[in-house]
Amino acid sequence: MSNKGLRLFLSMLGFALAGHAGVLPPTTVIGGKSVPELEMECWKWIYSISTNANPMVLCEGQLLTNSQPRADVFFIAPVNGLRPAACSRVYTIPEDTYILVPILPVTYENIDTDPPLSIPEFHDILDSVLNEPAFLKASIDGVALTNLIQYRATTPAFDYTFPDADNTQSMNYRRPISGLQEPTVADGYWFLLEPLPPGPHRIVTSGDLSVPLFFPRGIDCTITVVPVSLPDRIEILLGVLTRSELPSKEREPLVNALKQAKRFFEAQKLEPGMNQVRSFQKELSKGLDREDPDLFSQLNERAGRILEKAKVELRTSKK
């Protein structure tokens, strides 16, 4: 190969590698949440969905978008280990979205345990099956990830409430379970991906405990990352605000600023739209950063990304 050909090959190789999103360090914090805290939020999301629409029970890819709780992180639902085949999913997600990926997820709780165990006893049991897993595998766009043992993520103890018995735990324990469930600890191996570039991607993971209590957990995801227009990005933020528990008095000025920004962006008036987004960020800083740091981080970071995209479009329009 000539020097010119080698340079071209290395350039193309570098471009190809740059097209793959990186796995973030286990200590990463996104939107005010660590990986274990995001893992806990993922389980609460799973437990809030009935079995006939639950992405942990059913493999249909479109169910993964069912009431996703965050604008900044997309949760790939675990599988419950009761099915022998890998769970194959096909779905789309918006650009600029982090992805939380399970490799070997486990939860432990005191359901049907008498006398109930303590939290330290939970950890002892989880350590006994997770410290040396039988295997862990993961790949992104055909590139295998290594040193997966570093992605162990253990949550604090948490609780959740089932309004009725139509839930995944009733299915797992084969009897009706409802009401408050506490405490629960989630554990296992999870990693966080930085946003993937627009286009098709494939994420494959699998793992098994050191003791074969379930079928090996396997997920095969074909993902299309789609570009998101400025008005649609505003709509995503409005959705986060609508689902939040902010009092209407605090929510109203935020919603008004976003709606005005959306109108400007729809009219291709980029600079006024950007000014409204900045007004939105200023309104956020009037106490939300202290009252609800997680919501503040989500909204402020997404608003910042909107401004970045708007600046790019503005520069392009002036050429």
Strand order in the sheet with 87-94: 87-94, 217-226, 199-208, 135-140, 143-144
Q: Tell me if 311 sits within 8 A of 50, measured CB to CB.
A: no
- For residue 5, being part of any structural domain is answered with no
If you search the block for the tokens 């639902």, which residue do you land on?
Answer: 77
* pLDDT for res 87: 78
- Token readout for 299 is 């909204």
**Same domain? 186 vs 255:** no
* pLDDT for res 144: 95
- Token readout for 52 is 């006939």
Helix ranges, the chain (H): 3-18, 35-47, 119-130, 168-173, 230-243, 248-266, 270-284, 288-291, 293-317
Candidate from 7-16, 205-214, 277-286, 298-307 with smallest mean pLDDT? 7-16
Q: For residue 263, give the 3-state DSSP assignment.
A: helix
Query: What's the mean pLDDT in 28-50?
Result: 93
DSSP 66: T
Number of domains in the chain: 2
**Same domain? 271 vs 218:** no
* pLDDT for res 89: 86
**Same domain? 177 vs 240:** no
pLDDT at 223 over 80: yes
Final residue belonging to a domain, choices 180, 197, 226: 226
- For residue 13, being part of any structural domain is answered with no
249: domain range?
230-317
**Same domain? 312 vs 212:** no
Task: Return d(Cα 137, Cα 125) in angstroms, integer.
Answer: 23
* pLDDT for res 267: 96
CA angle 111, 115, 118 (to 5 degrees): 80
- For residue 132, being part of any structural domain is answered with yes
Q: Which H or E run includes 207?
A: strand 199-208
**Same domain? 157 vs 292:** no
- For residue 2, being part of any structural domain is answered with no
Query: What's the mean pLDDT in 202-221?
Result: 82
113 contact partners, CB below 8 Å, separation of at least 6: none
pLDDT at 20 over 50: no
Neighbours of 210 (CB within 10 A): 13
* pLDDT for res 99: 96
- For residue 9, being part of any structural domain is answered with no
